[in-house]
């Protein structure tokens, strides 16, 4: 196993961080009044105010112009095709440098490798149709959302109730989607609906994907769902009321939508795990620095054994998670599917981040409870990251099933 990062990836990551330092961070500082007070950041309905939406668009398009925004998208879609090893390195470096995602950095400079930008799911769109939308998506001018989850169907995708029925040379879609990231702002949606209820009930298929323009009649975002400690969000509830979609806007063959929907989910899980490693390193750095200068009982708190244990346990957690991420990425780069391994990494890394953030707050004492250092924000984010892309319980289920089938190569 060779975990060495090649020089091109190092240069790419360094260039990305310079871009953020030189252009994105100053933009946030110039608009501090918007970003530091959520009462200015969100409208009453929970959506970003227009000024913030325009700033996010500006950063996306500048990132695309410099070649960062589409770096991890497949070359066949118009991206740079940087591989999984590069992805985990860049995600770790990005989160180590900046900590809890600022509004103009994470998901704006680099979109999700799965659900926005030149998503791998778009491979399954008709080439001529994709060509029509490619430029707007690749440039960051237009954004996507991924509509699979529903009020009664989260981890169990076969439980979705949204239906798509044939109508002339197209389809009519009706149903409700929930917990949809970027839904309040997306220009296009990748929507998954049941087209064969009998097959879906048997868990043998029957779900089809569609590429939908969110401005089409019948497509609405009924509400925004604020998450922990926030007044608004990027997450929304989507209602589809007799939305008409042309047949050439299908995402792959009829009835095979679920496999297409999940075609990039493992990349998303591994990317999230790498982000957790970087953010944990950021939190531990703060704790170590504070332990050196904060004094109690006549000496720095870093000399107290109880504090040393907190720091050491966090270092152990990070070391283990980082090696898991790198090993899993290496396996995938060698052509392995590594499905069980990806589930292990996602579960361990997200839970590891939760522990490290908790310890870092403990080292800081009362200061950690304030948001002066953004540890409190990081703690809330860490808790949230244990849910998306499959909970820890779902990841363990996948690992156990792989073990029972003999498909887990430890």
Q: Which domains, ranges and CATH numbers included, belong to the chain? A: 7-113 (no CATH), 144-257 (2.40.110.10), 265-405 (1.20.140.10)
Neighbours of 168 (CB within 10 A): 9
299-331: buried (b, 16+ CB within 10 Å) or exposed (e) per residue? eebbeeeebeebbeebeebbeebbebbbebbbb
Among residues 173, 235, 207, 189, the alpha carbon closest in space to that of 47 is found at: 235
Using an 8 Å Cβ cutoff, are 223 and 236 in contact? yes
Closest by Cα among 147, 149, 80 to 113: 80
Label residue 101 by pLDDT band (50, 70, 90).
low
Q: Give the rounded percent of residues in the chain with a pLDDT score beyond 70.
A: 99
The residue whose two tokens read 């019948």 is 218
pLDDT number for residue 143: 96
List the alpha helices (DSSP H) in 103-166: 127-138
When pLDDT is cut at 50, 70 and 90, the band that residue 361 belongs to is very high
Give CA separation, 340 vs 36, 112, 321, 397, in Å.
40, 21, 15, 9
Q: Which pLDDT band, with edges at 50, 70 and 90, does 18 fall under?
A: very high
Q: Quote the CA–CA distance of 150 and 217 in Å, as a whole number.
A: 20
Q: Mean pLDDT throughout 360-367?
A: 97
Instruction: Check residue 112 and give its pLDDT.
Output: 79
How much is the pLDDT for 212? 98
* Tens-place pLDDT, residues 198-246: 999 999 999 999 999 999 999 999 999 999 989 998 999 999 999 999 9
CA–CA separation, 257 vs 239, rounded Å?
Answer: 19
Strand-pair partners of 209: 192
Task: Indicate if the pLDDT at residue 380 is higher than 90.
Answer: yes
Mean pLDDT of the chain: 94
To the nearest 10°, report the CA torsion of 262, 125, 134, 241: -80
Question: Does residue 261 register a pLDDT over 90?
Answer: no
pLDDT above 80 (res 2): no
Structure tokens at 343: 């589930």
154 pLDDT exceeds 90?
Answer: no
Helix/strand/coil for 365: coil
User: At 264, phi and psi to the nearest 5?
Assistant: -120, 5
pTM for the predicted model, two decimal places:
0.95
Region 369-374: what's the mean pLDDT?
Answer: 90
Structure tokens at 304: 């107290």
């Amino acid at each position: 196993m060779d975990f060495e990062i090649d020089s091109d990836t190092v240069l790419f990551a360094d260039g990305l961080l310079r871009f953020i330092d030189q252009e994105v961070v100053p933009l946030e500082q110039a608009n501090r009044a918007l970003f530091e007070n959520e009462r200015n950041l969100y409208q009453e309905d929970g959506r970003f105010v227009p000024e913030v939406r325009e700033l996010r668009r500006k950063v996306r398009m500048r990132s695309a112009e410099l070649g960062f925004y589409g770096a991890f998208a497949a070359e066949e879609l118009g991206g740079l095709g940087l591989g999984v090893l590069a992805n985990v390195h860049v995600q770790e470096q990005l989160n180590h440098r900046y900590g809890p995602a600022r509004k103009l950095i994470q998901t704006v400079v680099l979109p999700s490798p799965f659900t926005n930008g030149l998503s791998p799911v778009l491979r399954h769109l008709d080439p001529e149709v994709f060509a029509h939308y490619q430029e707007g998506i690749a440039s960051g001018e237009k954004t996507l959302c991924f509509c699979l989850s529903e009020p009664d169907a989260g981890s169990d995708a076969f439980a979705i109730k949204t239906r798509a029925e044939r109508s002339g040379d197209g389809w009519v879609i009706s149903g409700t989607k929930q917990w949809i990231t970027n839904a309040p702002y997306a220009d296009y949606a990748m929507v998954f609906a049941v087209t064969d209820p009998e097959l879906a009930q048997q868990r043998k298929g029957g779900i089809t994907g569609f590429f939908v323009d969110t401005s089409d009649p019948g497509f609405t975002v009924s509400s925004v769902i604020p998450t922990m400690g926030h007044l608004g969000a990027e997450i929304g509830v989507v209602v589809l009321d007799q939305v008409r979609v042309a047949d050439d806007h299908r995402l792959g063959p009829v009835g095979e939508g679920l496999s297409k929907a999940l075609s990039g989910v493992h990349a998303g899980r591994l990317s999230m795990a790498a982000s957790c490693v970087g953010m944990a390193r950021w939190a531990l750095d703060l704790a170590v620095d504070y332990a050196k200068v904060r004094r109690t009982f006549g000496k720095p708190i870093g000399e107290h054994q109880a504090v040393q244990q907190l720091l050491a346990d966090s270092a152990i957690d990070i070391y283990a998670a980082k090696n898991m991420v790198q090993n899993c990425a290496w396996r995938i780069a060698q052509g392995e599917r590594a499905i069980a391994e990806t589930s292990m990494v996602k579960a361990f890394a997200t839970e590891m981040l939760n522990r490290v953030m908790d310890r870092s707050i403990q080292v800081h004492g009362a200061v950690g409870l304030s948001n002066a250092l953004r540890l409190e924000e990081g703690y809330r984010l860490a808790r949230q990251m244990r849910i998306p892309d499959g909970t820890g319980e779902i990841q363990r289920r996948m690992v156990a099933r792989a073990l029972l089938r003999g498909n887990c190569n430890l």
